[in-house]
Chain A
Amino acid sequence: MTYAIEVRNVHREFKQSGGIVRLRRPVRAVDGVTFSLPAGDVLGVVGESGCGKSTLARLIMGLLPLTSGEILVDGRSLTGMDRRERARLIQPVFQDPFSSLNPRHRIRDIVGLPLASQGDMPKARQVDRVMEMLARVGISSEMAERMPGQLSGGQRQRVAIARALVLHPRIVVCDEPTSALDVSVQAQILNLLTELRRELGLTYLFISHNLAVVEHIATEVAVMYLGRIVEQAPAQELFRTPAHPYTRALLSSVLTPDPALGIPDVGLGDAYPDPTNVPPGCRFHPRCPSAFAECAVTMPDNIRKDGRLVECLLATTS
């Protein structure tokens, strides 16, 4: 079986620049990630801020070199793939619509750029495709003439989505695609992404902090903590029976719109993770409410069972 994406034991480290020179250790942003995603699936990636989700996304898009490991797209290694070909296969929607749109270009030119740089579509068809895409994400033809600075935050993110979809790529890597959007536009965009996935057979890697959104759109969910996937399962199973203590903490921190309830105490303490100083044993043990003595020494195995992965000693011993 050929997967849309295969990620094999991928690592990425960053050199540190701040702090005392003698104490500088590398930032282990992605620390041994493995997964494979069949075409047409949506992998939701969730996890703590700073745990390496965007770095993973950038590695998959070939925007950052790997420290070690291998990534295959459509069965072929990313290393050495031609840029134009890569652009036809994978397109990004970034977390930050403010810095990802060129402030000196008109909206319609920004969305048209991926088509123009492929160089194989007549100009008139390019314009049609751009206007059609903009209309689909809810940007009027009047707005298409503006510069990014003249749009609101949400309007700019819709433009970024139009730009990613204009080439009808196979895989779309969405890094927080709806976090800048109000709920009504978010609903429109999620419906649109779902529709396009069905129509065009797209595969999504979908990074989001909004668990309700992930539950809604993902077929499979990976939970990351400090550079690793600590739990992965089909979406419904993961939300119904979260197995890793970090996943449980995450799910219990979701703020449902109930004014009778306050802000929950997450119960993870304040020993926040430091990617330059990964704890021995289970990397979650200093904060884990279920940790026992062995967790501080033995690194839990990375076992897949019945299509489910849980990197926790509780799961492997029982």
Chain B
Amino acid sequence: MTASLQDPVLSVANLRVSIGGRTEAVRGMSLAVARGETHCMVGESGCGKSISALSVMNLLPRGIIRTADHIRFQGQDLLAMSERQMSRLRGDKISMIFQEPMTSLNPAYTIGSQMSEVLERHRRAIRRQAMDRAAELLARVGITAPGMRLGQYPHQLSGGLRQRVMIAMALMCDPELLIADEPTTALDVTVQAQILRLLQKLQQELGLALLLITHDLGVVARMAQRVSVMYAGEVVETGAVGDVFAAPTHPYTRGLLDCIPVPGKTQTGEPLGNIPGMVPRIPPGFAGCGFRDRCMSAAPECAQAVPLRDAGGDHSYLCRLPPDWTRASAA
């Protein structure tokens, strides 16, 4: 293991999240993000990615309970922190870009006052300095006429402008850890490329650690050093991105890679590969593989605890099958 991962910026061990005692939304999730590293999290809609991120931030809605062996940021245990200590970190050393820009931007305040407030609160900056910083960051995320944009309200911006405002706002205090939940979904590919390059630059300059939640496997392939694939609240496969893309091993990961339309490969109008069925709700006390209802290789033993297997290097997966299984041999 690399030296940096022994001393990660963020380390989550055995996170469990229960929703109203009825649903196990996250079931023993662990991951680490090192300084300057990008760790991508992918997985089916509803598998618990946002809930995991919100658990780290301690921003879960009421009635949703997190437990974990630890959640550490730069060695400090976030589980032991008071709300006051947490709110001092949020927006400052730990920033999050939320999946729902419209619900996290306040419709009643201008972009400028929302952005500058972050710096005034954490850095005791005066309004004018804070506005300058906001304008500078808007320019860096490719927004022209920052003067006009700072005076506008969220509903006057296009989806992609709003998303870029959220990104700029998350960078106001030069965070050490950025958790970005689908940060580029509303952006066209040229702007997306530019934002991702900006994030990479900040990683080189400031050692920013990035936990990037995305369903865009192109973004994962080109941004991440490590990737964790989640399914039904568990990390079902994790490893260096090259290893996972070259040799996807969990049946869900293999199915996922078959679903993307690839220009020139998939025929217009022809159905795309997909994984029939949907993510099950996991009740308390559930045992076995969460994917077994949809898995083409499911066997009776999949209803019992499945082993965490080593696929070599830092690449591991949660499945009964050996690393070199093929569809024919598993059926």
Which residues of A are in contact with B by a Cβ distance under 8 Å? Answer: 14, 16-20, 46-50, 54, 95-96, 98-99, 138, 140, 142, 149, 151-155, 176, 179-188, 190-191, 194, 209, 211-213, 215-218, 235-236, 239, 249-250, 253-266, 268, 270, 272-274, 276-277
Q: Indicate which residue in B43, B103, B145, B256 contacts A274 across the interface (CB closer than 8 Å).
A: B145
Q: Indicate which residue in B112, B160, B164, B274 contacts A187 across the interface (CB closer than 8 Å).
A: B274
Which residues from 213 to 236 on chain B have a C-beta closer than 8 Å to any C-beta of chain A?
215-223
Which residues from 270 to 306 on chain B have a C-beta closer than 8 Å to any C-beta of chain A?
271-275, 278, 281
Closest 6 CB pairs of A and B: A18-B151, A154-B45, A49-B160, A255-B218, A152-B46, A187-B274
Q: Does B156 contact A (CB under 8 A)?
A: yes
A sample of 25 inter-chain contacts (CB < 8 A) reads: A18-B148, A19-B147, A49-B159, A49-B188, A50-B158, A50-B161, A96-B100, A96-B102, A138-B278, A153-B100, A176-B185, A182-B215, A183-B216, A183-B217, A186-B215, A187-B260, A190-B272, A194-B269, A209-B192, A216-B269, A261-B222, A265-B197, A270-B139, A270-B194, A272-B144
- Apart from the given pairs A49-B163, A266-B190, 11 other A-B contacts in the complex at a CB distance below 8 Å: A54-B158, A95-B186, A184-B256, A184-B259, A186-B259, A187-B273, A191-B274, A250-B189, A255-B189, A255-B192, A268-B190
Give Cα A263–Cα B199 distance, bound, in whole angstroms. Answer: 11
A142-B259 CB under 8 A given contacts A179-B185, A182-B43: no
Contact assessment for A176 and B259 in the assembled complex, using a CB-CB cutoff below 8 Å? no
Q: Indicate which residue in B153, B220, B245, B268 contacts A216 across the interface (CB closer than 8 Å).
A: B268
A262-B273 CB under 8 A given contacts A213-B261, A272-B143: no
Q: Which of B46, B149, B190, B241 has the most CB of A within 10 A?
A: B190
B191 and chain A: residue at smallest CB distance = A49
Contact assessment for B221 and A258 in the assembled complex, using a CB-CB cutoff below 8 Å? yes
B269 and chain A: residue at smallest CB distance = A194
Give every chain B residue within 8 A of A185 (Cβ-Cβ).
44-45
A266-B50 CB under 8 A given contacts A95-B159, A99-B102: no
Contact assessment for B46 and A18 in the assembled complex, using a CB-CB cutoff below 8 Å? no
Which residues from 45 to 62 on chain B have a C-beta closer than 8 Å to any C-beta of chain A?
45-46, 50, 61
B29 to chain A, nearest CB (A): 16
Give Cα A149–Cα B51 distance, bound, in whole angstroms. Answer: 13
Which residues from 173 to 223 on chain B have a C-beta closer than 8 Å to any C-beta of chain A?
182, 185-194, 196-197, 200, 215-223
Give every chain B residue within 8 A of A181 (Cβ-Cβ).
45, 215
A44 to chain B, nearest CB (A): 11
Contact assessment for A153 and B193 in the assembled complex, using a CB-CB cutoff below 8 Å? no
Give every chain B residue within 8 A of A154 (Cβ-Cβ).
44-46
A188 to chain B, nearest CB (A): 5
Give every chain B residue within 8 A of A211 (Cβ-Cβ).
189, 263
Contact assessment for B188 and A48 in the assembled complex, using a CB-CB cutoff below 8 Å? yes
Give Cα A190–Cα B261 distance, bound, in whole angstroms. Answer: 10
A243 to chain B, nearest CB (A): 17
Contact assessment for B193 and A264 in the assembled complex, using a CB-CB cutoff below 8 Å? yes
A49 and chain B: residue at smallest CB distance = B160
Which residues of B are in contact with A by a Cβ distance under 8 Å? Answer: 42-46, 50, 61, 99-103, 110, 112, 139, 142-145, 147-153, 156-161, 163-164, 182, 185-194, 196-197, 200, 215-223, 241-242, 245-246, 255-257, 259-263, 266, 268-269, 271-275, 278, 281
Give every chain B residue within 8 A of A16 (Cβ-Cβ).
148
Give every chain B residue within 8 A of A152 (Cβ-Cβ).
45-46, 50
A209-B187 CB under 8 A given contacts A18-B110, A187-B272, A262-B222: yes
A240 and chain B: residue at smallest CB distance = B264
Contact assessment for B50 and A263 in the assembled complex, using a CB-CB cutoff below 8 Å? no
A75 to chain B, nearest CB (A): 27
Q: Indicate which residue in A19, A99, A262, A270 contacts B148 across the interface (CB closer than 8 Å).
A: A19
Q: Indicate which residue in B143, B193, B245 contacts A253 across the interface (CB closer than 8 Å).
A: B193
A208 and chain B: residue at smallest CB distance = B188
B161 and chain A: residue at smallest CB distance = A50
Q: Indicate which residue in A151, A194, A254 contacts B263 across the interface (CB closer than 8 Å).
A: A254
A153-B190 CB under 8 A given contacts A187-B272, A261-B222: no
Give every chain B residue within 8 A of A212 (Cβ-Cβ).
260-263, 266
A140 and chain B: residue at smallest CB distance = B278
Contact assessment for A17 and B268 in the assembled complex, using a CB-CB cutoff below 8 Å? no
Give Cα A131–Cα B222 distance, bound, in whole angstroms. Answer: 40
B201 to chain A, nearest CB (A): 10
Q: Indicate which residue in A140, A184, A257 contacts B218 across the interface (CB closer than 8 Å).
A: A257
